[in-house]
Structure 1
Amino acid sequence: MAITTSLCSPPNHSPTLPTFSISNLPSFQPQSSSSSSSSKFGVNLVSNDALILAAAAEAVTLARAAVNAAREAAEESAAGVGGEVWIYRDGSEGNGLVMRRTRRRKRRKNLELLDLEEKGYFENKSFSSGSVKSGYLSRREEVDCCLSLKEGAELEATRIRITDAQEHEPTSKQLAKAIGMEMRSVDKMLCDRRDSQERIYRSYRRLVVSIAVGYQGRGLSLQDLIQEGSIGLLRGAHKFDPDRGHKLSTYVYWWIRQAIIRAIEKNSRLVRLPGNMCMMVAKIAEAKNDLSRRLRRAPSCEEIAEAVDMHVSIIKLVSEKSRTPISLDRTVTDQGCMRLQVHDSQMLKFFQKLLKISTAFSISNLNSNLLQEIIAGPDETMPEKMVMKRLMKQEVKKLLKSLSDREAHVLRLHFGLNGKSPQTFEEIGRVLKLSRERVRQINGIALSKLRHTSIVDNLRLYLYIL
């Protein structure tokens, strides 16, 4: 008797299992009729047992072969043996090992990004508008979290009321008694509130960062902007009403933006401006930038006033109030001194030019001075200095009277003796309708005349006093 088994492989490059054959089993011929019935029955039992054992051995062998074949097939498919190509649901083709490696890299990258977010390292490009929507709560989760926040807010209001009345923090038992609830329920409400705040913050943190990035460079750091935006996020989540039908992200966007803008208005300047003034500053700055791009020059106050539909005086007032404050400990340079004391500095410069003294003579000792040392205060308005300044102005008027009207006018404009900013020869020429060279000649002639007057030597005293 022979038992032959064959396992054929399908045509799609699967490995072929070997064919197993079991040899003829020895046949047991019946004994002579003289044998007893008991011996015949024993021979039949032995024959049946042998067949059963042979079939069992064949089944075990086939099972082992099938396991080995399946393992080899899996290894070959993983290694890409035979150029096997998989067809995916989306119609794309790719090697199985390559695709699995790609998926592992993506999962590893996402885990690294989450790890960075846990540590607090935010990259601006990671929070673009395309990546903001990931990780948002579902509709049901939004309702549950906002409900927990409202219940916790009511509990917090009760706690504050009890604290103000008793002048100490209430215990959980006192708080539960005041609300009319069990202490276990009160503790659960507080825990749910903290968990809801944490879930909302983690889910919408990227939205906060994406908004805060757009307000950088306005006086607050990115970390401060994110902190203020997170406060606005929780405030908006507390006031969110799910029954209105809009999403939580749409609602809290404006609360985050409002919190950041108010923080900039309040904390970005040493001297705080009112809210309406900050709005006008932003509006005027936007109009000024727009006009500068279109006109390719700095716009005037009249042009800005026309663009924003405001009076010119308001534009000047806002521009003056929005200047950046400076520190009194700031070191003063030559240019800084001339800006602070325009009239007196220009008069000293006129004396230096007239007496042919170096420009750095009278201001060289100010290079190491601080701003607070040269700003006149109530204790520095001494009568003798006021008299000296008045006498100096009288001496200048006497000098200019010895010149013609045009020469005196040129000196006043060029050196700023009239209290205004000094002008160049070209600017003076446009005013007097003269050429630049002619104005320079008039200036030189006037200075030459003044140097030969008798009162010039008396002016040296003012260079040392003022």
Structure 2
Amino acid sequence: MIDSLSNASYLNHLNQHELMTAQEELELGRQVQQGCFQARSEFIERNLKLVISIAGRYRGRGLDVADLVEEGNLGLMRAVDKYDPEMGYRFSTYAAWWIRQAVERALMNQAKTVRTPIHKQREIRQERKARELENETLPGYAKRNFNHWFNPAQQIISLDQPIDNLDGATGVDLLESDEPSPEALVVSQQDRENVAAWLNLLPDLPRMVLMRRYGLDGRDCGTLSAIGERSGTIRERVRQIQVETLRLLCRMVESGRIPADVAILD
């Protein structure tokens, strides 16, 4: 089923690792947060089956399954690094999003010359499934959008080819720059100012916890244990302060004390 990955050695390697229990996720997750490389490796190894399960759903969309699994593994590693076992949800639920994102971005970036946005790819898949099931719940979609984004008659052309009536300009010349626009920079600066204003409304300890936990002081995001050591309290109390402070900020937004159009920290 997994093409070149269907060899016995690889599958046997995966079968050596059983799925993790909730308690194992909690214990290993805490070790990962403390910087234990061995725990991180074990966490990754024991969740590789999840990557294969998810990557297999994207077969036939422009990349070999082996490449899809490789990209999914990058998403898995990202999920392991960001997973907070104290939040109470299972790792597989959390990691699935990161794995899908990594695979879908790889498909978008590598499978086509002109990239189709991920949300458009999802819409295309939705319409394809609807057609297969003769689902008529989306009657106008195909005429308005599907044929525009998924037209077999579309040609693949070189971006270096000169464009008629544009004085020799090529497709490359018309591509948008990766540099942020002045408008985006202004919005980003405004968001930072809003967050700083929020933090100034908080008592010293909750403000310090959020700044260190989310890296708002220019440093890397801190672990619960590291923040607890600095503040002279236990990690569980730091977690409680984090949750309580985020809830407080939500209430402040609802009451109008702070702007509602700036996202709460997630």
Superposition TM-score tier, normalisation by shorter sequence: 0.3 to 0.5
Query: Is the radius of gyration larger for structure 1 or structure 2?
Result: 1
Identify the structure with bigger relative contact order (alpha carbons < 8 Å, sequence gap 6+).
Answer: 2
Give TM-score, length-normalised by structure 1: 0.29
